Structures are given as structure tokens and as C-alpha cells.
Structure 1
Amino acid sequence: MLILDRVCFDLCLTTGVLQMRKTNKRKVSALLAVVLTGALSACGEQEPDPERVASWREDYCSDLSAWQRITHDPPEKGYGNEPVLTAAAVISAAKVIDREHLDHAGSHILYDTAQAVSRNDQDAEKRVSEYCAAVGFETLMKYL
């Protein structure tokens, strides 16, 4: 009861009312329960399923490998839109890694992937290749 009175007093202070006034404690406790439930549910977000995480990482590293292969070892004859398509695929996969916060501390997968693909940044390409090697897909990375 003392805690509820304190909450009512704090609520009154935040609304600019300096006096403690009588409130319907049931309404306040119901409101407090709703607020706490919302706050706790936001804090209790679950980690993604480990199988999905592995799948997203494999997709990213496979797409990166395909882009590297087309970029560094182009076939003798024309290959149409493959460089553009593989670049789009690896950027799309990097967006998933970034959105799900699966990159390692301090790494910036989406930024580094974009730099490697669009600006031919070899340092960025090395960083994303190292990421794939670190998460278990080193065999896909020909260019480390």
C-alpha cells in the first residue's frame, strides 16, 4: 500500500500537481500492471533460432563466394547480368545479417559488403571474408 501511495504521489508530481490527492488505487494498479507488462515483454525478446541463424549466415557467405568468383575469375565468354545479380544477392543477404545483428562486435557487414561490391574495396572484402571464415564457412572463401 505504501508503494502504491508513492507511485500515486510520483504520478501527481510528474503531471505538475504538487499535492497528494486521493486516487482510485485499483485504476492506478491496473494501469501500472499494463505498463509493467509492456515494458517486460519488450525486454524479453527471444534470440533467433540457431538453425535460422546458421541458414542466414550460410546464405550470406554463399552469395559472397559467388560474387567473388564472378568478380575475380570471370568466365572466358560473356556472362550477361551475373555480376549485377550476384552483387544484389550478396547485398540483400548482408541486410539480413545486419537486421538480425549477427555481425560480430565492431564489424559492419552491410557497410563492408557494400564497399566491397560497389567500390571494389579489397580491405572491406577481406573483412567480410574473415567474418564468413569466423562463422564456419571458410571453405567458401577463396579470397581471404
Structure 2
Amino acid sequence: MILDRVCFDLCLTTGVLRMRKTNKRKVSALLAVVLAGVLSACGEQEPDPERVASWREDYCWDLSTWQRITHDPPVKGYGNEPVLTAAAVISAAKVIDREHLDHEGSHILYDTVEAVSHNDQDAEKRVSEYCAEVGFETLMKYD
């Protein structure tokens, strides 16, 4: 009964005045697609603020660790730690990028890769500024 009413309403709005069984099937399929789209949009929510803060802190902590190891190496050296910290900060940047937590116009993942892989000091300054803007300025070597 409900399907007949929905079909009748949809058929009227689309200009089809005659209802046939084939129309019911088409309308049922169309309705299923529309409902699936609406329901999938309902599932998208903003991430939990605590989780956002944790992701940002992880990123900024990894960035500061990489900066300290890269720019102030100890006399004996760190072995593979510069490579490992570079991988960690890029991994954390991927989370920031995936969750769209970078600021408008910033490109955290790109800038992080440029800073870490290509020693781009301008990119490093931009990612340090990002951390300062989100409240982790005390971790940053350059801000």
C-alpha cells in the first residue's frame, strides 16, 4: 500500500499518469538508490574533538622529533632514527590529510614530504606554523 502511494506520487511528479507493474519496479529501484544515498550521508560525521586533538598532537610530536634528530644530531649519531622519524611524521601527516584537518589553503602532507624528503625549509616552516596554530607551538623547533 505504501509502495503504491509512493509510486503514484512519484509517477505524478514525473508526469506519468498511468501506473503499471513495470513502473512499480522502476520506482522501487529508484527509491532504494535514493534511500541508500541519503542513509550513507547520514553516517558521515565530524570526528570526535578528542580524537582530532590526539591526531594533531601525534603529528606535531613526530614532526618535532624529526626536527631535533635532523637538525641537532648527537655526536655519535642516531643510526636509522632519522629515517624512522621521517616515516613516522609522513604517516602522521597522512592522517591529518585524510581527515581534512589541515587549514584552508595548507597542504600538510605535501609540505611534510617536501620538508622531510627534500630538506625544503620553507615547507618545514609551514608545517611548524600549522602545529603552532593548533596549539603545539612549544614542540616546534621553527615557528
The TM-score, its normalising length taken from structure 2, stands at 0.80
- Distance 1:89-1:13 versus aligned 2 partners, 3 A rule: farther
Higher alpha-carbon deviation: 28-37 or 106-115: 28-37
List per-residue Cα deviations over 1:32-64 (Å, max 9, x = no partner): 155234334325511111111100000000000
- Distance 1:16-1:25 versus aligned 2 partners, 3 A rule: closer
| Structure 2 unpaired stretches of 5+ | none
- Checking the alignment, whether the CA contact within 8 Å between 2:7 and 2:23 is kept in structure 1 is no
- Checking the alignment, whether the CA contact within 8 Å between 2:7 and 2:27 is kept in structure 1 is yes
Question: For residues 104 and 91 of structure 1, what CA distance do their matches in structure 2 show?
Answer: 17
The TM-score, its normalising length taken from structure 1, stands at 0.79
Higher alpha-carbon deviation: 25-34 or 112-121: 25-34
Question: For residues 83 and 122 of structure 2, what CA distance do their matches in structure 1 show?
Answer: 21
Cα drift, residue 66 of structure 1: 0.2
Residue 137 of structure 1 is matched in structure 2 by 136
Residue 27 of structure 1 is matched in structure 2 by 26
Cα drift, residue 124 of structure 1: 0.2
Cα drift, residue 26 of structure 1: 8.0
Question: For residues 16 and 89 of structure 1, what CA distance do their matches in structure 2 show?
Answer: 59
- Distance 1:33-1:126 versus aligned 2 partners, 3 A rule: same
- Distance 1:114-1:9 versus aligned 2 partners, 3 A rule: farther
Higher alpha-carbon deviation: 82-91 or 27-36: 27-36
How many residue pairs get aligned? The number is 143
- Distance 1:85-1:103 versus aligned 2 partners, 3 A rule: same
Residue 7 of structure 2 is matched in structure 1 by 8
Cα drift, residue 28 of structure 1: 2.3
- Checking the alignment, whether the CA contact within 8 Å between 1:62 and 1:140 is kept in structure 2 is yes
Cα drift, residue 75 of structure 1: 0.4
- Checking the alignment, whether the CA contact within 8 Å between 1:8 and 1:23 is kept in structure 2 is no
Higher alpha-carbon deviation: 111-120 or 22-31: 22-31
Higher alpha-carbon deviation: 3-12 or 17-26: 3-12
- What aligned pairs does 1:49-128 form with structure 2 within 5 A after superposition? 49-128=48-127
- Checking the alignment, whether the CA contact within 8 Å between 2:128 and 2:140 is kept in structure 1 is yes
- Distance 1:27-1:63 versus aligned 2 partners, 3 A rule: same
The SS at the match of 2:88 is helix
| Structure 1 unpaired stretches of 5+ | none
Provide the alpha-carbon RMSD of the alignment.
4.1
